[in-house]
Structure 1
Amino acid sequence: MARAPGFWFRQPGPWSAALAPLGAIYAAGTARRLSRGGRARVGVPVICVGNLNAGGTGKTPTVIALVQRLSDRGIRAHVVSRGHGGTEKGPLRVDPLRHAAARVGDEPRLMAAFGPVWVADDRVTGARAASDTGAQAVILDDGFQDPALAHDLSIVVVDAAKGWGNGRCLPAGPLREPVATGLARADMVLSIGGGHAQRQFAARWPALPVPHLTARLQPLKTGMDWTGLRALAFAGIGHPEKFFATLAREGVEIVRAEALADHQPFSPRLLTRLEGEARMLGAQLVTTEKDAARLPDDFRGKVLTLPARLRFDDPAELDRRLDALFD
């Protein structure tokens, strides 16, 4: 996915006003698709981790956190993903040792380290495959705007710093559907970011109609001391600047930061350039876990990754909702 236009995340101006009629058409198309009835059930609870924005908001770390939270309860959850960036239509259970990111997508390959993951272009078929092979719960990675499958718990994830941007739908803004329309179907909102970003988000959207959880991504303590490391950092995620800021907080000296498009393929030419520039700068290549999942096996050993996990500020409401699903 290409980088989002800057005007999406500013107060509405001339560009968003000019594109507003197209945004209204997009919103109407989403509403029409969602109005189709007959949502399927697959015999186990389905938890949807979705968003209102196009692009990255933190769904992948949220899915991983839910898999681990359910595992702590003795519940075996399978993840179902469309496998964005991959060619596989599925349903296929992801084996990270056999399936390259080019086939199944980088996010499924990363999530498969934490539990069973299915790639399926048809989410109902993927959820049934998961249920038929022993899943006690299905976690949908995205799918909030897909009317085919019934959701027992819907969590809308939003980046606290970016919020819902200018509040307009594509291409006038970042939204797949209007905020009020989407939240009318949601069970809770999860905003991800640090304290300042969370305060900004709460000030901009102070009266949400559903419970509001907050969380932040925290680097894992792996025993490595990042202080003073000279790095050429690169990231092809929704908001690469957040990864670069995290590295800086860990004490990394970023001599060059390369922001790539979300899910951008690593061509041999790109990797050769990055490796050459790092050598000239005397810097270590560093990237995200998601990006590392797309690297060729023979290149991955040249790159360090900074793993991070989602930490909830107060998970009580989430735990209550999860427990209610399995009473």
Structure 2
Amino acid sequence: MGNLIGGSSRQNNKLSKKPRGRWTRHDTLNEDPETSRETTGWSSSKNQRTEESNNKAALHLKLKEDFNKLRPLFPTPDYHPLHLAIVTGYPHIIPDLLKRGAKINDKDMAGRTALHLASEVLYLEAMTLLLGCGASVNLTIPATRETALHLAVRSSSCKAGTLLAAGGKCVELLLLNGANIHMRDWKGQEAIHTACRNGREEIIKLLFNYGADVNSLTPEEESPLFLFLEKTGNLRKLNVLRELLRLTYPLKLMNSEGHLPKALYNPSCELLHDLLRDMAAEVWSLQDICKFNVRNVYRGAMICWLKERIPTQLWNSIYIRQEYSYASKMK
């Protein structure tokens, strides 16, 4: 009897101890308020994490489904997460993808970064996010040596870009974020060459205001003006032609192979052909050359800076009075 009582006493002592581990459930069943609250909070947190995980899985699936529909439009089979976010129209998830391990400058099989892709299609929202997250603005595509600026200028200056007046903000965004305006592609062309070949005035002026050199030559010795005159359709853009002539010196009409721009071989352009040939044969005075070089170096906001530092009469002779240029010969 004593053994029974003693055994029962020891068992009661064990049950009366503070619950640990396996006894948590026993306390919960007894409706311990504190333990119940902890368990409820843990369940709520778990449900929230499960819901977040399901949402992300659903978003990833949606991305893949959308991308598979668009895949035929893209030549390369592999896209990194940032590329997927752009081609499927979800640029807002870029910061989250970066937090989860995506690399801002990852390249696809064609060697394009996400910034290349966004710049080529003039996707301003995606470009803004990528640059804000640290995308390298001057990386080149290995096969073509094109930068994001080359791609944005080409898309902005093409026929569709001109008709839609699209791309100016994209180009300026790249320039504001340190795009090197003098980098050359596989043809040895800078962005200004591409802009001039397509003849979109706004893009040409924008590049010039950020320091583009209208007198730079390709390896074939073709200037931006030469490439502008390669397309006969550009001759209808007289304002652009005058602006390029105003900014050009010396006037070089032939490339390294001795060819003139294609438009000047057109019989309907005989008068322009003769006028430009006469201009190219002119010899400028040293004073006119100096004035031209000053205007070429000090442009945009620098004009006002220079005005405060040199005599007014000298400044007026450079920028206002009888400004000499090839454009002054055109009527």
Structure 1 or 2: more strand by fraction: 1
Q: Which has the larger radius of gyration?
A: 2
Question: 1 or 2 for the larger relative contact order (CA 8 Å, sep ≥6)?
Answer: 1
Structure 1 or 2: more helix by fraction: 2
Category of TM-score, reference length = shorter chain: under 0.3
